[in-house]
Structure 1
Amino acid sequence: MTRTRRSKLVLWLTAALFLPALLAGHDVHRHLATVGTVPAGAQSERAEELLQDSFGGGTPHLILLVRSALPVDHRRTTAAARRLATRLGDDPAVLRVTSYWDGRDPALRGRDGRDPALRSRDGHGALIAALLSGDDRQRSETARRLTGELAGRHGPLTVQVTGEAQIRVEIQDRSDADLRTAELIAAPLTLVILLFVFGGLVAALLPVLVGGLAVVGTMAVLRGLTEVTEVSVFAMSIASMLGFALAVDFSLFILTRFREELAAGRDARAAVAVTMSTTGRAMAYSAATVTLSLSALLLFPFTMLRSIAFGGIAITVLAAVCSLVVLPAVLTLLGERVNSLSVRRRRRRRRRAGMGWFRVAVSVMRRPLLVAVPTALVLAVLASPFLGARFGTFDDRVLPPQAPAAQAARDLRQDFDGGGGVGAGFIVLPRVRDEWMLEEYARRVAAVEGVAQVSTVTGTYLRDTVISQADLRFTNGTGTWLAISSVYEPYSVGNADLAVRLREVPAPGEALVGGPGAELADLRQGIAGRLAPALALIAVVTFILVTALTRRIVLAVKSLLMNVLSLGATFGLLVHVFQDGHLRWLVGDFTLTGSIDALVPVMIFCVAFGLSMDYEIFLLARITEEHRRSGDTIMAVADGLQHTGRLFTSAAVIFAVVMAAMTTSSLAPLKMLGASLAVAVLLDATLIRTLLVPAVMRLAGRANWWTPWTTASAQRRELVALQGES
């Protein structure tokens, strides 16, 4: 079979697979979930399950904030509110309803111990809370339906809806809409940049089409994953935008080298062969590096990170396959027509292209210390805010301030003592036979720094003082539980530290601490326990891949160090903007919480590390190729940067544009990811690849090329490779 026939067969197979993939993935958003951030089997998860199963309590899934112009105890308000609570409780998907007007739930008590915290301070608002049946997806569907029925006016009442399930619904809806907006922004801007880079419409369209193929394939893969595991809504957004950007990047490198070989006088078949043996080989290593960096997310015990890893790995593989299989087939058939529909006159003197990068590299290598030291200091200064990072977790404030669920949650925090008691901590114990042991334990818990109040079967405690009598609803035949009111915000760092202190209090039996603070504590512990293995995996695998590509150990070590500097600066800017609130106008409106979600830096590191190595591998591959020809480090670096500088800078700008489109999202985590990844690739393409890499390689000199495998056979392999490239 001739190469032309093979190329046509590849395109026919691609077309045959495209339609089924499009049909399979078109409704993937309906099958995604806003998965939790608590490690499976964590103490807080077990405590929540035990509280719900044994006592019918736990954190409410749906909260109705009911307001009236009349006082909440007025008979008209009371009658309307009771009808509303009854209507909610009659729904078959509702397990239990707690209302200010119908009871005094010990899980929702005020800090002062005098009245339940279900009534607002002004007396014109009160709460109705519900536990819902089913898993996260089923509860979200129930919340969507009930919110449509209950939100708004009901006689003298005005009802706002919030709670865990409704927050998930709004996150999912906004994620879908924001993804479409980002794609509509990124695609035309990418095409404009590609037109500027290539100067022709046909060449500019090819990377965009390859990116579209990769995205369609990824949506189909994610749809398949939803049948076997939970997939986060964030996985779709991240995978879609990342896949488009990677496919465009990979295609850009392949297409540029192909056109370079055509300009050198080769026919289409020979140009494709040389392109695939050089740039294609480097791209395969690059895709493997990105894939393995993303696979480190699988080490963490979080469904959200694992689903993002699955999506990211799938999109990287698809982007590589489209660029290494489909694009070469198209180029073989197009040949010189790839330069058709030119929008500007092509340059005749190819040698002059990139001479600016050559001069930059030579200038840097004349004074390497004067360049390397200030550049490293700039990166260190940019990284310094990360030293003051505070790590929290997702709550309603990931939504924009104007989102209905976020508005209701904000009103709840501002107008009700202790936030209405919603999200308070709790401790579940086995049954304690000796009442005095439980009383002593409750007093010890009440004395812990940060505890405002403790309620249990022996009474309510304000520090060492009993302020109310026993309440039998805190016990049953098998166990006992304590409700903990905290002086901290539910998902704050202070509340997480409080949960850790509560777990250290000696208890009369196995004590399970739950609530938002405990969830954050478990989240931090889950990250800390797997962070070192994940970093080691990324470092070792990257070292092996770069060494395999270049056969040079010093180059592999240098690549790792360059990435650490780049990512440190990225994390510093992340904290500077999203924790400290500087330069907020660059990324749009979001709610400032004073902390960074603990999962976001993990995601950024694994994704950005692979992307940074992407550009490093292409640059090192070309430098190594030039060094084989000349044997001179300075000329190899200068020629390598001359041939790739404009290319990886263009690729970085395109990638940054695609990621920056994510900052238009109304969801804070997507803003963080988009902005951070855009900054990471721009820093990498400018300060790192343009300045630091030439300076450090000049300082290293001949040490760059040291290898323990310099044998006669290795030299023969390099000679054969050089002859093949020539």
Structure 2
Amino acid sequence: MLAALARFSVRHRWPVIALWLLAVLGAGLAAQQAGGSFSNDLTLSGTDSQAAHDTLRERYPELSGDGMQVVVHSDSGADTPQVRRAVRAAVADVRGLDDVAAARSPYGPGPDMVSDDGRTAVATVQFTGRAKDVPEESVRAAQEAFAPVRDAGDGIRVEFGGAALRTESGPSGSEAIGLAAAVLVLLVAFGSVFAMAVPLVTALFALALGMSAVNLVAGFTTIGTSGPVVAAMIGLGVGIDYALLVVTRHREGMRAGHSPHESIPIALSTAGRSVLVAGLTVIVAILSLYLVGIPFVSALGLASALTVAATLLAAVTLLPALLAVLGDRLDRFRVRRPRADHAPGHTGGWHRWTGRVQRRPWPYLLAATAALIVMALPLFSMHLGTADGGSAPEGTTERRAYELVSEDFGAGWTGPLLVTAQFDGPAADGPAADAQRRATALRAELQAVEGVREVRPPQLDSTGTTAVFTVVPQGSPDDESTERLVHHLRDDVLPAAADGAETHVGGSTAAAVDLADRLGARMPWFVGFVVGLSFLLLMVEFRSIVVPVKAALMNLLSVGAAYGAVVAVFQWGWGAGLLGAEPGPIESFAPIMLFAVLFGLSMDYEVFLLSRVREEYLRSGDSAASVRGGIAATARVITAAASVMVVVFGSFQLNDQRVVNLFGFGLAVAIAVDATLVRLVLVPAVMAVLGRSAWWLPRPLERLLPHLPGEPAGAERTTDTGAGTDSGSEAGADAGARTGKQPVPPQGGEPDTARR
């Protein structure tokens, strides 16, 4: 199938390229006309914070939306008459704006919000809906209404913070830097300008189509602000990677004597098939995020899956057409002489390295495993949460607002809790009077709780039977003490202090705690599902039970090492300053999202390497020689592909979003570990220990398992005679020749033109 598709693209190369140009332009125009915007929606049905929000929406419509803090600061005083007049005038103007439910002055009525030294005052603006539903124009208009406050005195600052603020993810320059670094890596890997340009052009076309699709989908569903950047990061990395693998196999075919038009279908039916299986594994793993049941996380996965799907489409259609256009000019404009690491009768450095590992597999296996386990140890200290304004980029208004409020009022004021209590029930002097007494008593109980800094007087609804309390924690929103306080209020304090009342703890801080709890609870089920599904796919692909088990365990080690590095840097702060990151909790959705992406990407190299090993094994029946040959044939390209991904992912450290920094760092570490310790040390060591048993599959399963498209259904594995006892020696290299067996066609088969 892939060979036929490649031949079609070769024959009709110019129409295929033209169709891609039209598709990219059309999708771009459609995205401009019908595309949506990006915002964070942390709605979690069935949680206590969502129940609190529902109560507010029903009883306190003016408090149910997300809010924005307006921080007014002046060293000469924010409580002077002229500042008061300017702030009150701005608050009055904001109340008349669309999408604004309420606006409160820091000077009353009610308790004021002026610091003890009089230098800082905080006004609040409450919008009618959640941040995702509030037009950006309305937020900007509310901010502009406070512009005259800056003219009320010398040195007056006005900063903005709160859940209502959202930042669209735009280009940060990191994409261009990642591309420039990828160009250098590809030049070194291929040694020619044209060969370097083909993967880049293919990846850019795919990325353009994929990002337009993401923008279109954002018009129908809510995708988080980090979604487009994460999707671009993954799409660019795998797009270059997949094209690089196919181009490498195509060049190998031409060096073997095939014409370009013969070599392209061969490359697609072998390396292209590996790319297709690996890419589908990535897509399935990412789309499995829908099983978590959290729309915010699922939408991030959907955005990434769209870009990966675009790269697969480009790899099997556009890439063959571009290769056909270049023909035998692919290696023009060389910057170095090409090198062949794997050819008949050739023994290169990768052969010798793999043979060394095979002769003493246990020391290498234990050393590499120990290194990965040590890297993964910080994982057990992971604290899930949502970074607050203190983790916002330096110089942003959110960061400045957070620092002013935290310093002058206390960190808890940057994300107070909202406690609702519904006191419906009979009372001798009426339900309203009873609710007032019970609300006053409950406020006293809440004020006495350890970890509570302040409780504002309760606000009763129009019926006088429901009260809402603003509870200010001692710690910041992302502090572990605040998380413990939320659980303590829900589990212990409120059931005892408000017996018979319906109580809930809400607000953006409580919603973040609920998100972390739900994701933490569902993570084991998600991991089990993705690993199980990948196991089944690899078992069908490689006709083995042992290889999928080995792949799953190694990929789990790679992911664990990446988690450990992320915790050490982004939570503990080790070297965080070098990356421009602020220590804080690990974003609650990051581990599950990282696992989906990393497990899929790890499978890329597993499939590509072991597909080549299996081809060698089907030819010779020698397990040791097949591992040496497979690694020698793929080590250089895997190293180049991994280098491309590392520099692309690493370049996103220049983005100003902490979530994007975290993802880029985690992906870069995992790919680097996977392509070195795992593929070049653990794989040959484990395969040497397993010998021919690595390809064991019970005969009943052999009959039951389906054959993937492109695999020769009738091909049987040769019997490994002698390889099992001499798996670690160079002498096994010619075992296949000594058996006298006829070679089995390689995985995926070759087209008739290639055999002729």
What TM-score, normalized by structure 2, do the two folds share? 0.86
> Does residue 499 of structure 1 match 2:486?
yes
Change (3 A) 1:31 1:161: farther
Question: Residue by residue, what CA displacement relative to the aligned partner does 1:676-712 show, whole Å, maximum 9, x if unpaired?
Answer: 1001000000000000111011111222011013899
Structure-2 separation of matches of 1:70 and 1:17: 60
Moved more, 549-558 or 497-506: 497-506
The SS at the match of 2:330 is helix
Q: 2:170 is matched with which residue?
A: 176
Q: 1:121 is matched with which residue?
A: 116
**Aligned residue type for 1:413:** S
Match of 2:136 among 136, 140, 143: 140
**Aligned residue type for 2:204:** G
The SS at the match of 2:226 is helix
Structure-2 separation of matches of 1:215 and 1:165: 31
**How much has 1:439 moved relative to structure 2?**
5.5
Q: 2:666 is matched with which residue?
A: 676
Match of 2:333 among 322, 341, 344: 341
Q: 1:300 is matched with which residue?
A: 292
Structure-2 separation of matches of 1:26 and 1:193: 34
State how 1:48-447 maps to structure 2 within 5 Å: 48-55=53-60, 56-57=62-63, 61-68=67-74, 70-104=76-110, 116=112, 118-137=113-132, 138-151=134-147, 153-156=150-153, 158-164=156-162, 167-168=165-166, 171-172=167-168, 175-178=169-172, 181-347=173-339, 351=343, 355-417=348-410, 419-420=412-413, 423-431=416-424, 433=431, 434-435=434-435, 438=439, 441-447=442-448
Q: 1:699 is matched with which residue?
A: 689
Structure-2 separation of matches of 1:289 and 1:103: 59
**How much has 1:165 moved relative to structure 2?**
5.3
Q: 1:609 is matched with which residue?
A: 599
**Aligned residue type for 1:161:** E
**Aligned residue type for 2:89:** R
Structure-2 separation of matches of 1:552 and 1:597: 37
Structure-2 separation of matches of 1:229 and 1:632: 53
Q: 1:567 is matched with which residue?
A: 559
**How much has 1:570 moved relative to structure 2?**
0.8
Structure-2 separation of matches of 1:199 and 1:648: 16
Change (3 A) 1:104 1:327: same
> Does residue 539 of structure 1 match 2:531?
yes
Change (3 A) 1:608 1:619: same
Question: Residue by residue, what CA displacement relative to the aligned partner does 1:124-171 show, whole Å, maximum 9, x if unpaired?
Answer: 221111112345243433222332442461222724232335641xx3
**How much has 1:453 moved relative to structure 2?**
4.1
> Structure 1 stretches of 5 or more lacking a match?
106-115, 458-471
**How much has 1:386 moved relative to structure 2?**
1.5
Change (3 A) 1:347 1:518: closer
Match of 1:652 among 624, 634, 642: 642
Task: Give the alignment's Cα RMSD to 1 decimal.
Answer: 2.7
Q: Is the 8 A contact 1:60 1:163 kept in 2?
A: no
**Aligned residue type for 1:143:** V
Question: Residue by residue, what CA displacement relative to the aligned partner does 1:384-435 show, whole Å, maximum 9, x if unpaired?
Answer: 1111121221322342122122111111111124654752342332435345
Structure-2 separation of matches of 1:354 and 1:23: 53
Structure-2 separation of matches of 1:514 and 1:639: 60
Q: 2:451 is matched with which residue?
A: 450
**Aligned residue type for 2:610:** L
Match of 1:591 among 582, 590, 610: 582
Q: Is the 8 A contact 1:150 1:159 kept in 2?
A: no
Structure-2 separation of matches of 1:348 and 1:67: 67
Question: Residue by residue, what CA displacement relative to the aligned partner does 1:270-319 show, whole Å, maximum 9, x if unpaired?
Answer: 21222122111111110111011101222223333222111111111110
**Aligned residue type for 1:564:** L
> Structure 2 stretches of 5 or more lacking a match?
426-430, 704-711, 718-743
Q: 1:5 is matched with which residue?
A: 11
Structure-2 separation of matches of 1:258 and 1:79: 74
**How much has 1:228 moved relative to structure 2?**
1.3
Match of 1:642 among 613, 625, 632: 632
**How much has 1:236 moved relative to structure 2?**
0.7
Moved more, 554-563 or 353-362: 353-362
Moved more, 399-408 or 51-60: 51-60
Moved more, 374-383 or 337-346: 337-346
Question: Residue by residue, what CA displacement relative to the aligned partner does 1:198-234 show, whole Å, maximum 9, x if unpaired?
Answer: 1111111000001111111112211221221112221
Structure-2 separation of matches of 1:611 and 1:530: 22
Structure-2 separation of matches of 1:131 and 1:164: 10
**Aligned residue type for 1:295:** L
Q: Is the 8 A contact 2:70 2:122 kept in 1?
A: yes
The SS at the match of 2:40 is coil
> Does residue 16 of structure 1 match 2:17?
no
Q: 1:109 is matched with which residue?
A: none
Change (3 A) 1:456 1:266: same
> Does residue 509 of structure 1 match 2:501?
yes
Change (3 A) 1:618 1:717: same
Q: Is the 8 A contact 1:140 1:166 kept in 2?
A: no
Structure-2 separation of matches of 1:509 and 1:119: 33
Aligned length: 692
Q: Is the 8 A contact 2:413 2:472 kept in 1?
A: no
Change (3 A) 1:235 1:517: closer
Q: 2:37 is matched with which residue?
A: 32
Structure-2 separation of matches of 1:367 and 1:308: 44
**How much has 1:717 moved relative to structure 2?**
2.2
**How much has 1:618 moved relative to structure 2?**
0.4
**Aligned residue type for 2:561:** A
